[in-house]
Chains A and B, each alone.
Chain A
């Protein structure tokens, strides 16, 4: 199959590659770029563990072809926070035990980031609705909600300092 050259900015870094048009964005991220933090969980676009941000908007990367990301910016969990300093969302998930097996967590956190970018002061209902595209089998969601509330409060108190 003929390949196409795509240029994508991933976690702030420009990346170039030749890919088949049929390759999914999630496979491009995992196999070509080696960013295995984004996971695959289903084949019907239901589970959301593949959620990344494309130009800041949450997208299921299993339901997008890599060629569709040409010319766009993609943020994955590897781009959330710094190796030495966790993002408040990551801190919140740790503080409130918002993860167990960790498989849904990258997608859950990226969806949370999109949620908080749009609504920095969500209610529990806002969070449950906003994350209803991300399945979790381990936690029962209650601690995920608490994690996002924790992160939201920390981000609000840091607002105006460093933009995240």
Chain B
């Protein structure tokens, strides 16, 4: 056959092939953790603290033990006997599994009960009597530094304050000199509020310790099964090869399902003690109040400006509210993640930043909530500061960005904080966006509307972000470098199985990773099965979060397919009876150079690998590849939002939302667009309604769906999506990450639009979420609105 294969038709790169995962999800045949039933399984529920900060005087579990159907009541004291009352965190701190001396946040785990069914387990929790001695709660990082503030982590030897880390990066002296040269310094302070990834499916695990074989199998809602296996081996002091972590279908992750939670550890310990499978499925309150939060950073920053609009330097300080335990899930070297990627899209010669983390009486964390390690916070502050600076200069928002964005001929570009941007066409993306929204027309419309007392506003957010952690020189978690891996085996019939170390939670890896193999080998995507999530059956990978799957695991997939193709070439030469140099490749087949009709398909090569090998060749057609990414990938986005604000009520409605995304080569356009729309909805949520806060007593406000607001189909705006393609020069297929871009760059577009609509009031900042009462108060009293949790006036 000499007819060339149509790559799109067979499901290669660029094909919007329908999803493999849909077959089971549409029929209600997904396998989420709560769907599994193991013989002899018992159910575990957790008792949580109602107080934010208190000493535990006594725990009486006697009545719980007496309830028929209760098999285990586990307290911190009992866990301590197995060295499991505390566990190490991914940030080299410790975190309580079950409270022993004190509770340190409302919702903290106190005890757990295992029973025949969850109803009885909850009865058991209710029957536990705990005596608390309340202590003064700390609800924001400034309160934690104030004189006389109680030491929250008095369990740590040598801890004399409430600071958990200090960090800095950049060129302090150079930045100071640049500021001294500035014609104008533009300052901004804001709080990115605490939030929570809140996938709809809560966390859970089924721990199954087989006392006969000493093997521990854990079904777990985890985005990173291999990291979890390593962590469980350390925490539970079990040998790594006797632990199997199975991550089945996951109902959304967004970073929530990366850390090791006390519930998992309790289910494992209870399973070991009972020698039975123990299932723990969290409820939504438990999920929101105790699993790792996101964001909660206070910014104080400034831009040094020349009067023609050129940015000379940037300088900022972050105070991070880390809750009761420093458990950030991020690479070791970076105490506040990649927050210093802020301003990367702009050509700014000097930068310096400092950060300090504080312990407070809140849930620990934080996680990269759809954000590549604090990059959402970085880009939000960046675009809010850019807006403020343009405004201070009296310059148009688009013109100010155009002047300062990195130009096409500057790549690869080194940022003042040391990152290396790979590629981009930033101005083109901005132009596509401005054109789509009708920028000049809108500005006219805004002016006309203002004359009639209506308030329209337009907000721009442009950013590039580092995705695909990360190179082994700089990135590790728990000392393990952040590579990823792929194993590919082609069967005798030419069908194939691909095993990867990443783990999908809705991104469609079973669909898209096959497409990469199709691109490299010409095997139709429908003939390739993708397997992931089971540490016994997949190669080691650091998991899926921070938009790293395509950049790292996707690259590993391309590389392993090329290794397989290299062997197939030898088989082709053998079948065609020519030397390897005379063999040429086109999608799906090899042919003799100069005689294209004389060829063999990849399927025929596969059959030969099992049944007709040349002398001396090892049979089989398979390989593996580990990929250590040379750099991050840097997608770019321009998001533009128009709004109308009601001056009577502070309610704002989105008129239009335009997104221009450049994520390099798109493997499956349909899926890429789905990711962008999902991320943009979370951006809208954070700008409009979604946040967790605390009252002065440390009560968590936002620990259930009545208070923690997710937008529904009714509020969520429609999206107009546009595409620019600038391939990554270092990624094997030119792709960049994209899953989180809209969540990262989106919020500032909405907030900038609302601020633009009230730009005549002199209000400089309204902290997210821009609730109607906050916007109304800002307009009415012409003052900034802070969202920081209040402290008691007498403390």
A and B associate in one complex: yes
> CB within 8 Å of B: which residues of A?
20, 22-23, 30-31, 35-44, 46-47, 49, 76-78, 80-81, 83, 86, 90, 93-95, 97, 99-106, 109, 127-129, 131-145
Q: Are B25 and A102 in contact (CB under 8 A)?
A: yes
Q: Does B760 contact A (CB under 8 A)?
A: no
Knowing that A37-B30, A103-B251, A133-B712 are A-B contacts, what are 11 other residue pairs whose CB atoms are under 8 Å apart, sorted by A's residue number? A30-B34, A37-B27, A44-B284, A86-B27, A94-B18, A97-B670, A101-B200, A129-B714, A138-B678, A139-B677, A140-B680
Q: Are B677 and A142 in contact (CB under 8 A)?
A: yes
- A sample of 10 inter-chain contacts (CB < 8 A) reads A20-B119, A94-B18, A100-B507, A101-B506, A102-B249, A103-B32, A127-B713, A128-B716, A129-B714, A136-B713
Given A23-B119, A99-B25, A105-B25; A143-B677 close (CB under 8 Å)? yes
Tell me which residues across on chain B come within 8 A of A143, comparing CB atoms. Answer: 674, 677
- What string of 1s and 0s marks CB contacts (under 8 Å) between B246-277 and chain A? 00011110100000000000000000000000
Q: Are A47 and B678 in contact (CB under 8 A)?
A: no
Q: Are B704 and A42 in contact (CB under 8 A)?
A: yes
Q: Are B710 and A41 in contact (CB under 8 A)?
A: no
Q: Are B30 and A135 in contact (CB under 8 A)?
A: no
- Who on chain B is nearest to A107 by CB? B200
| Majority secondary structure, A binding face | loop
Q: Are B28 and A137 in contact (CB under 8 A)?
A: no
Choose one: A39, A44, A77, A106; the contact of B704 (CB below 8 Å): A44
Q: Does B508 contact A (CB under 8 A)?
A: yes
| Majority secondary structure, B binding face | loop
> CB within 8 Å of A: which residues of B?
18-19, 21-22, 24-30, 32, 34-35, 117, 119, 198-202, 249-252, 254, 281, 283-285, 505-508, 670-671, 673-674, 677-678, 680-682, 704-706, 710, 712-714, 716, 718-719
Interchain CA distance A99-B632 in the complex, whole Å: 29
Given A38-B28, A100-B674; A137-B284 close (CB under 8 Å)? no
Interchain CA distance A47-B682 in the complex, whole Å: 16
Among B34, B283, B671, B713, chain A packs the most CB atoms within 10 A around the CB of: B713
- Who on chain A is nearest to B715 by CB? A132
- Who on chain B is nearest to A37 by CB? B28
Choose one: A37, A78, A132, A140; the contact of B719 (CB below 8 Å): A140
Q: Are A22 and B119 in contact (CB under 8 A)?
A: yes
Q: Are B26 and A135 in contact (CB under 8 A)?
A: no
Interchain CA distance A23-B714 in the complex, whole Å: 32
Distance in Å: Cβ of A39 to nearest Cβ of chain B: 7
Tell me which residues across on chain B come within 8 A of A22, comparing CB atoms. Answer: 119
Interchain CA distance A23-B118 in the complex, whole Å: 10
Q: Are B704 and A139 in contact (CB under 8 A)?
A: no
Interchain CA distance A86-B19 in the complex, whole Å: 15
Tell me which residues across on chain A come within 8 A of B119, comparing CB atoms. Answer: 20, 22-23
Given A35-B28, A41-B200; A99-B251 close (CB under 8 Å)? no
In order of increasing CB-CB distance, the 6 nearest A-B pairs are A37-B28, A103-B251, A102-B25, A101-B506, A140-B677, A100-B506
Tell me which residues across on chain B come within 8 A of A36, comparing CB atoms. Answer: 28, 32, 34-35
Q: Are B713 and A145 in contact (CB under 8 A)?
A: yes
Tell me which residues across on chain B come within 8 A of A23, comparing CB atoms. Answer: 119
Given A77-B27, A99-B26, A102-B25; A39-B674 close (CB under 8 Å)? no
Q: Are B505 and A101 in contact (CB under 8 A)?
A: yes
Interchain CA distance A127-B198 in the complex, whole Å: 24
Q: Are A141 and B28 in contact (CB under 8 A)?
A: no
Choose one: A43, A105, A138; the contact of B26 (CB below 8 Å): A105
Q: Are B674 and A139 in contact (CB under 8 A)?
A: yes
Choose one: A41, A94, A101, A134; the contact of B713 (CB below 8 Å): A134
Given A100-B507, A135-B710, A140-B719; A43-B28 close (CB under 8 Å)? no
Distance in Å: Cβ of A132 to nearest Cβ of chain B: 4
Distance in Å: Cβ of B673 to nearest Cβ of chain A: 8
- Who on chain B is nearest to A24 by CB? B119
Tell me which residues across on chain B come within 8 A of A127, comparing CB atoms. Answer: 713
Choose one: A81, A86, A101, A131; the contact of B199 (CB below 8 Å): A101
Distance in Å: Cβ of B550 to nearest Cβ of chain A: 15
Distance in Å: Cβ of B690 to nearest Cβ of chain A: 11
Among A31, A40, A42, A136, chain B packs the most CB atoms within 10 A around the CB of: A42
Distance in Å: Cβ of A97 to nearest Cβ of chain B: 5
Q: Are A41 and B201 in contact (CB under 8 A)?
A: yes
Tell me which residues across on chain B come within 8 A of A133, comparing CB atoms. Answer: 712
Interchain CA distance A90-B505 in the complex, whole Å: 20
Interchain CA distance A43-B712 in the complex, whole Å: 17
Interchain CA distance A133-B712 in the complex, whole Å: 7
Choose one: A76, A102, A132; the contact of B251 (CB below 8 Å): A102
Tell me which residues across on chain B come within 8 A of A77, comparing CB atoms. Answer: 27-28
- Who on chain A is nearest to B120 by CB? A1
Given A44-B704, A102-B506, A141-B681; A132-B713 close (CB under 8 Å)? yes
